[in-house]
Amino acid sequence: MKELGRLLTAMITPMKEDGSVDYEQACTLANKLVDSGSDGVVVVGTTGESPTLIRSEELKLFAEIKNAIGDRASVIAGTGSNATAEAIEATVQAEEIGVDACLLVVPYYNKPSQEGLYQHFKAIAGATKLPCILYNVPSRTVANLSAETTIRLSRIDNIIGTKEASGNFEEIAKIIGAVKDDFRVWSGNDGDTLPLLSLGAYGVVSVVSHLVGKQMREMIEAFLACDIKRASRIHNSLIPLFKNMFITANPCPVKYALNYLGFPVGKPRLPLVEPDEASAAVIREVLTNSVIDLPIP
């Protein structure tokens, strides 16, 4: 299996003025993210506005971005759904395109039981040879993937990790302590990255790496080198970004930030809208007081 990397960026989906997907800008952004330290990109995740993209747009994004970055970095396709058959179809199509792995979100809205969650992910994994990453984000899905179910799923050969955005460190520690050494746990919240690394997590699926990828990589590398003071210093310096890139629904703040910094990515699709002026002012202030390392012309 290809090494997917410790620093993965949950990539936004750039849009044109008419609201259509800007595939050219998406490819440019993907390469810039790799240049600034990302080992891979997650395409069509929550940050990529998956709820408002249609399948043809998703598949074209997978293909265009994989072609654009080649073997420089991994491409993880967001193919999850709350309908198992739909998730299987999307995952099979992404595999045919040649992505490196898939990200499978916990089914939303229909609130399956833990047994239902197990059977859902087992069925998707059984339909593909792709490495599968679970994605637990109960703030978005309502349903929570328990530690026990995650541990059970980790025994399926091609379920190779989980993106944990629950914020429940006790449950995440339970997962890390019970799974095989090669089962990866990525933080799903930027601010949780350093604490979860200390519990044995592998890395992060990041949003702020759109802006400070080099610093996120430096923090992870400092921790791995046992330079805890340096890692903590970087973490502490990034807290304002960790907080204010989620001042309103993701990805509205980070899209606003990229546009403000001179890298046009368009507006979010309805029902998401740009931050109101009060939130935008906070974002501008934190950007002014931060060292941004995304290479923007």
pLDDT band at 2; cut points 50, 70, 90: confident
Query: What's the one-letter identity of residue 57?
Result: E
pLDDT of 17-73, one tens digit each? 999 999 999 999 999 999 999 999 999 999 999 999 999 999 999 999 999 999 999
The 3-state DSSP class for residue 74 equals strand
pLDDT of 60-102, one tens digit each? 999 999 999 999 999 999 999 999 999 999 999 999 999 999 9
pLDDT of 105-118, one tens digit each? 999 999 999 999 99
pTM: 0.96
CA distances from 32 to 25, 26, 37, 134, 171 (A): 10, 10, 9, 26, 35
Q: What is the rounded average pLDDT of the residues 194-222? A: 98
- Taking the C-alpha atoms of residue 259 and residue 264, their distance in angstroms, rounded to an integer, is 5
In the structure, how many helices (H) and strands (E) does the chain have? 12, 8
57 backbone φψ class: left, alpha, beta (φ>0; ψ -120 to 50): alpha
pLDDT band at 297; cut points 50, 70, 90: low
User: Which one of the listed residues 23, 66, 118, 135 is annotated catalytic?
Assistant: 135
Instruction: Note if 135 is an active site residue.
Output: yes
Which domains are delineated in the chain? 7-221 (3.20.20.70)
Instruction: Note if 260 is an active site residue.
Output: no
User: Which one of the listed residues 23, 66, 118, 163 is annotated catalytic?
Assistant: 163
DSSP 247-291: SSSTTHHHHHHHHHTT----PPPTT--PPPHHHHHHHHHHHHTS-
Alpha-helix runs per DSSP H in 21-168: 23-35, 55-69, 84-97, 114-126, 138-141, 147-153
Residue 145 · residue 152 · CB < 8 Å = no
